[in-house]
Structure formats: structure tokens, C-alpha cells
Amino acid sequence: MGRTHKESHRAERIGWLRAAVLGANDGIVSTSSLVVGVAAASALRSEVLIAGVAGLVAGAMSMAAGEYVSVSSQADTEKADLERERTELATDAEFELQELASIYVERGLDPALAKEVAAQLMVHDALGAHARDELGFSESTVARPVQAALASAASFTAGAALPLVVVLLAPESSLVIAVSVISLIFLAVLGVLAARAGGAPALRAAVRVTFWGALAMALTAGIGALFGTVV
């Protein structure tokens, strides 16, 4: 008897990978930009750290709350669609059978075979068959609000902690340069890792995240320098 083999696909990582990459990227960009802006205003290291830590806590909570609300809305929509499908299966099973068979015909099956496949799948798990093939729901893409919120908060915290470590270690006179350079390196590495995990081109991902990170830090550094000069 041959052994069964379950292949692993990158699509299975879409949910947590999206939340983790988004959280870490935001953590690095927002915290490094905040730190660079405050440091450019000629603030002391202690003041820069306080601002950075406050930004880390506020950002992590904001990411978690935003991700939870967003994914919860998706989950509510999925539940409503499943409930509607359950009702339709209970009230008009024959129509639902024809509907499922027509989907398989559009995918290339012979009409007779499509109806036979649909009938067998509905006997096995009618709601599951319609959820997968009519609604497009799957185990790998199902909405998980708590998982997404925790992943976002944790990854944001990890990303935001990196610029703060630089603030602690770098000379106070060169905080702006040190945080900017190291943060851009962190962003490039994050872009490459995320691209490899998702099977995307690494160079394009690295350039994309470093460009927006550099732009954000340049703007906040300019504002911080202007504010420091005026005040």
C-alpha cells in the first residue's frame, strides 16, 4: 500500500505571515521614525527612549486592536455566508446539488461526472463542499481574529524593539544616523525573509520596504530638526 503524502504549500502561511510581516515592518518604521524625529530635535537619550517605548506600547496595542477588529469582521462575514448556505441546503438541496455540479462543469468535468462528484461530496459533507468550492473558504485562509491580533502585537513589539536597542548602544551624538542606518538594514532583512517565506522576489521586497522606511525617517527627521531649531 502506498504512503499518503500531505504537501505543504505557502498559502497555508498567508494568515499569520501577513500579520507578522505587517506588524514587524510597522514596528520598525514607526518606532525608528519616532526616535529619529525626537533625536533630531536635539533631545537627550533618555527622552528619546521614553518616546520610543511609548510608541512601542501604543503601536502594539493599536496593531492588535486593529487586526482583531478587521479579522473579526471577516469572520462574521464568513459565518453569515455559512449560515445562509446551511439554510439553503436544508430548504432546497436539489438546487444546491445542481449549483455545485455546475461549478465542477466550469472547471472542466463532464456534466454527468460533475453531478456524481457533487452528489458524493454532499453526502459526505454538504456544507463543507459548498464552503470550499462555492464560497472559496479553506482551512488555510479562514479568519482567526485572536491569532492575527497576537501575531501583529508580538511582531510589532519585536520590530519596534530593534531601534530602541540601537538607541541604548549608539553614541548620543549620532543617534539619528545610527538608528536610520540600522533600521534600514533591519527592514531590508525583513523584506528578504518575508519574500522567501512567501516565495516572492527577495530584491523587490527589500527595496520596497527600505524605500518607504527611508522616506518616513527622512520626513520625521526634518520635522524634528525644524521643531528643535524653532523651540
Specify if 65 maps to a domain: yes
Specify if 156 maps to a domain: yes
Specify if 4 maps to a domain: no
pLDDT for the residue 143:
64
Confidence of residue 77 (pLDDT cuts 50, 70, 90): confident
Beta strands of 14-146 (E only): which ranges? Answer: none
Specify if 9 maps to a domain: no
Question: In which domain, by residue range, is 103 found?
Answer: 14-226
Model pLDDT for residues 183-223, shown as the tens digit of each residue:
999 888 888 877 776 677 778 878 888 898 889 888 988 88
Mean pLDDT of 17-41: 84
Confidence of residue 4 (pLDDT cuts 50, 70, 90): very low
Task: Give helix 14-40 / helix 145-169 axis angle, nearest 10°.
Answer: 30
Mean pLDDT of 88-101: 78
Q: Which residues contact 24 (CB under 8 A, 6 or more apart)?
A: 155, 156, 158, 159, 190
Residue 119 confidence (pLDDT) above 90: no
Q: What are phi and psi of 162, to 5 degrees?
A: -65, -50
* Contact by Cβ (8 Å): 202, 209: no
Q: Kindly report the number of other CB atoms within 10 A of residue 66's CB atom.
A: 13
Specify if 3 maps to a domain: no
Specify if 152 maps to a domain: yes
DSSP 8-state assignment for residue 5:
-
Q: How many independent structural domains does the chain possess?
A: 1
* Contact by Cβ (8 Å): 143, 14: no
Question: Mean pLDDT across the chain, nearest whole number?
Answer: 80
Residue 117 confidence (pLDDT) above 80: no
Specify if 44 maps to a domain: yes
Residue 22 confidence (pLDDT) above 70: yes
pLDDT for the residue 139:
58
Specify if 5 maps to a domain: no
With residues binned 3-state (H G I as helix, E B as strand, rest as coil), the percentages for the chain, rounded to 5, are 85, 0, 15
Model pLDDT for residues 126-175, shown as the tens digit of each residue:
777 777 776 766 655 566 788 888 888 898 999 999 999 999 999 988 88
Q: Which residues contact 41 (CB under 8 A, 6 or more apart)?
A: 224, 225, 227, 228, 231
